Amino acid sequence: MKNNILEAIGDTPIVRLNSIGAEVESELFVKVEYMNPGLSVKDRIAPLIVEDAEKKGELKPGGTIVEATSGNTGAGLAIVSAIKGYKCVFVMPDKMSQEKIDRLRAYGAKVIVTPTVALDDPESHYSVARRIVEETPNCILANQYNNPNNPESHYRMTGPEIWRQTGGEFDAFVTGLGTGGTISGTGRFLKEKNPDIKIVGVDPIGSILYGLFYGETDPEAGSYKTEGIGESFKPNTLSFENIDEVVRVTDAECLLMARRLAREEGILVGGSAGGAVAGAVRYAESLEKPQRIVTLMPDSGMFYLSKIFSDEWMVANAFLDEEEIERAAAPRSAS
């Protein structure tokens, strides 16, 4: 029995993919992070961020936790706040799904929605969050983009879990690039256990991280639809030190793969997970010898029902046409 819901964080399962990736010789496995209480990988970082602020005396009883979030970190922090009695204020860009906004409000958090603009714009979710902290007593900014407890939580928790669950018998770890906490912390642990394990990042076209990793100017940097991966700047929590390769994926690949995972594997995940799996398949296609590849899937598809899993939204945004919807609805032959 658990003393509270925080003790249920972690030990998420690793599952073999049987349909997706069947065309490659490598074995593909996914770590299903929506099995965490807040339905995402971000549950892992919230307790350590809050505990560290408490130890430093930065957060006192009755205080307020503020964060600029795409939704999942906010949910993790809201769960910790519910247990510990803190107030929460979350600032989100308006490209995020309504489900993510409603979820945070369900936990009792105050949610402020800002325009999707550059981070240094005074109206960005990051700028607004910092301004709230400056104006509010007994208040901290969780600051997932700069907080070393973000990658540290994955070094302590996610990496050891993957190593234990696989017995160390795998060749590559693939995950999306965002704040960089997951790949930096997990990658550091796995490289310490076995330097031959390949650490592969996945970045959506439109993000600048692929170009930064390879030291290139990316002419395609700009906007993109996929939530939860990619950035317009390099977070301090992202270290390239243990990353061997970065693979790029399109919005369409991310979103269509998420739909395939639901329909072919029974795994309902978001676009960042779709991107990670699409990236893992692309990485596998580049290999000369078959490998065992573990991919981390960050969150649940429940937060994208009005977007990724809405045929109307997918058609309106040119990711699907009517003929593709009809083909997808046709029954698949049993394998």
User: What is the structure's pLDDT at 222?
Assistant: 79
Residues 80 and 166 in one domain: no
End residue of a domain, out of 108, 141, 174: 141
pLDDT in tens, 92-132: 999 888 888 999 999 999 999 999 888 889 999 999 999 99
User: What is the structure's pLDDT at 332?
Assistant: 65
- Whether 124 is in a domain gets the answer yes
Residues 59 and 164 in one domain: no
Residues 58 and 165 in one domain: no
- Whether 57 is in a domain gets the answer yes
Mean pLDDT over the full length of the chain: 95
334 — pLDDT class (breaks 50, 70, 90): low
Residues 231 and 292 in one domain: yes
Residues 198 and 231 in one domain: yes
User: What is the structure's pLDDT at 251?
Assistant: 97
Decide if pLDDT at 329 tops 80. no
Q: Which is higher by pLDDT, 130 or 329?
A: 130
Full residue range of the structural domain in which residue 87 is found: 46-141
Residues 136 and 172 in one domain: no
User: What is the structure's pLDDT at 328?
Assistant: 65
Residue 31 sits in a domain whose CATH number is 3.40.50.1100
Task: Single out the residue of 66, 59, 224 nearest to residue 144, CA to CA.
Answer: 66
Residues 227 and 306 in one domain: yes
- Whether 287 is in a domain gets the answer yes
pLDDT in tens, 190-222: 999 999 999 999 999 999 999 999 998 776 777
End residue of a domain, out of 86, 119, 141: 141
Q: Which of 58-72, 122-136, 319-333 has the lowest mean pLDDT?
A: 319-333
Decide if pLDDT at 17 tops 90. yes
Residues 269 and 164 in one domain: yes
- Whether 147 is in a domain gets the answer no
Decide if pLDDT at 333 tops 80. no
End residue of a domain, out of 141, 169, 193: 141
- Whether 108 is in a domain gets the answer yes
Residues 136 and 161 in one domain: no
Please, are residues 184 and 242 in contact by the beta-carbon 8 Å criterion?
Answer: yes
- Whether 55 is in a domain gets the answer yes
User: What is the structure's pLDDT at 152?
Assistant: 99
Residues 100 and 188 in one domain: no
46 — pLDDT class (breaks 50, 70, 90): very high
| pLDDT-above-90 percentage for the chain | 86
Q: Quote the number of domains for the chain.
A: 2
Note the pTM of the prediction, 2 decimals. 0.93
- Whether 330 is in a domain gets the answer no
User: What is the structure's pLDDT at 326?
Assistant: 72
Decide if pLDDT at 33 tops 90. yes
- Whether 331 is in a domain gets the answer no
Residues 167 and 232 in one domain: yes
Residues 78 and 115 in one domain: yes
Catalytic center residues: 42
